[in-house]
Amino acid sequence: MNPMRPLFVGIALFLLASSLAAQGDPVAAGDAAWSRRAEGHQGGRALVGPIDQAIAAYERAVKEQPERLEASWKLLRALYFKGELATEGKEGKQKLFARGKVVAEAALDRLGKRVGGREKLERMTPAQAAKALSGEPAAPAVFLWSAVHWGLWGDAFGRMAAARQGVGDKVRRYSEVLIALDERFEEGGGHRILGRLHTLAPKVPFVTGWVDRDKAVSELRRALQLGPDNLDNHLFLAEALLEHHPGKAAEAREILRRVLTRKPVQDVVVEQEKSLANARALLAKHPG
């Protein structure tokens, strides 16, 4: 008997069991496709095939198990990946982020029901909301990806549409709740999004008068402190300094140079290749 046969049989049975589990559980099927999202990528641009499979599986999970918030936030993550890293053109991005906005609000409605209703949740301070949702493991991911999709929806549809929909207020609210829930989540994700918002949002009287360019820098410095391995924490801080604090341009350029010495991590290779490309472009724009 071949001494390796038991090993081969064991591997085959494991792979078969994994395949059957993925077929039976759409979230597991989505996770399997998500893990292959970098297949065939070119730098920071991914192919649509694997991520479309992930989206289809998560869509099925949301339809079949609407109360399963894991399915919702993973669908939001997959839609983000396709929109930012596998889609060219304004119309394609608009379609994906519009879908994301719907998924996000439905997930937030479900979170609201668990604490007495969405209106009650919206009336809470971030600290109160975090306390009320402390037993919901999916809450941080739902707020993070909801903030991301509202922000990207605003980018895709333009400043006027964003103002009418109150995009800035929503992104700020969801980021602040996320920070109250877990400021370390996704390598300082709440601080990263809030800092980015204060960097990019226009200051419109009576609409976004709360925009604070100094807060942009302080939030991004906190994100970087919590997530030093996240390349976007470095990139967004550098951009905020270059855009709004020209006296700190030298610091910003040094941040970008350090980023460009990094090698992409395989688990997030497409995402980090895109970040590195953006860092190169930003440094080229501000060579000093």
Is 144 found in the same domain as 247? no
Is 215 found in the same domain as 178? no
Neighbour count for residue 44 (Cβ, 10 Å)? 18
Q: Evaluate whether residue 65 is within a structural domain.
A: yes
The pLDDT, as a whole number, for residue 17 is: 42
Is 171 found in the same domain as 234? no
* Host domain of residue 126: 45-182
Is 128 found in the same domain as 218? no
Q: Evaluate whether residue 17 is within a structural domain.
A: no
What is the SS3 assignment for 178? helix
Token reading at 11: 């591997």
Inter-residue long-range contacts of 90-97, CB under 8 Å, 24+ positions, other chains counted: 90/156, 93/152, 93/156, 94/153, 94/156, 94/157, 97/149, 97/152, 97/153, 97/155, 97/156, 97/157
User: Tokens 């140079």 — which residue?
Assistant: 257
The pLDDT, as a whole number, for residue 20 is: 41
The pLDDT, as a whole number, for residue 69 is: 98
Cα–Cα dist 279/288, whole Å: 14
Q: Evaluate whether residue 163 is within a structural domain.
A: yes
Tell me the torsion sign for CA atoms 35, 38, 44, 48.
negative
Cα separation of the two ends of the chain? 70
Is 167 found in the same domain as 70? yes
- Spacing of C-alpha 146 from chain mean position: 8
Within 8 A by CB and 6+ apart from 259, the residues are 231, 234, 235, 238, 275, 276, 279
Q: How many domains does the chain have?
A: 2
Q: How much is the pTM?
A: 0.90
Is 153 found in the same domain as 78? yes
The pLDDT, as a whole number, for residue 23 is: 60
| Single-letter amino acid code for the residue at 41 | H
Cα–Cα dist 142/210, whole Å: 24
Cα–Cα dist 51/60, whole Å: 14
Is 64 found in the same domain as 145? yes
Neighbour count for residue 231 (Cβ, 10 Å)? 24
Is 212 found in the same domain as 176? no
Neighbour count for residue 175 (Cβ, 10 Å)? 28
Is 125 found in the same domain as 55? yes
For residue 9, which phi and psi values (nearest 5 degrees)? -65, -40
Cα–Cα dist 190/223, whole Å: 8
Is 171 found in the same domain as 127? yes
User: Tokens 């009287």 — which residue?
Assistant: 205
The pLDDT, as a whole number, for residue 5 is: 52
Is 229 found in the same domain as 166? no
> How many CA atoms does the CB half-sphere of 265 hold within 13 Å?
7
For residue 42, which phi and psi values (nearest 5 degrees)? -120, 100
Q: Evaluate whether residue 129 is within a structural domain.
A: yes
pLDDT digit of tens for each residue in the chain (288 aa)? 444 454 444 454 444 444 544 468 999 999 999 999 999 999 999 999 999 999 999 999 999 999 999 999 999 999 999 999 999 999 999 999 999 999 999 999 999 999 999 999 999 999 999 999 999 999 999 999 999 999 999 999 987 788 888 999 999 999 999 999 999 999 999 999 999 999 998 887 767 789 999 999 999 999 999 999 999 999 999 999 999 999 999 999 999 999 999 999 999 999 999 999 999 999 999 998
Distances (CA, A) of 152 to 29, 214, 215: 26, 23, 21
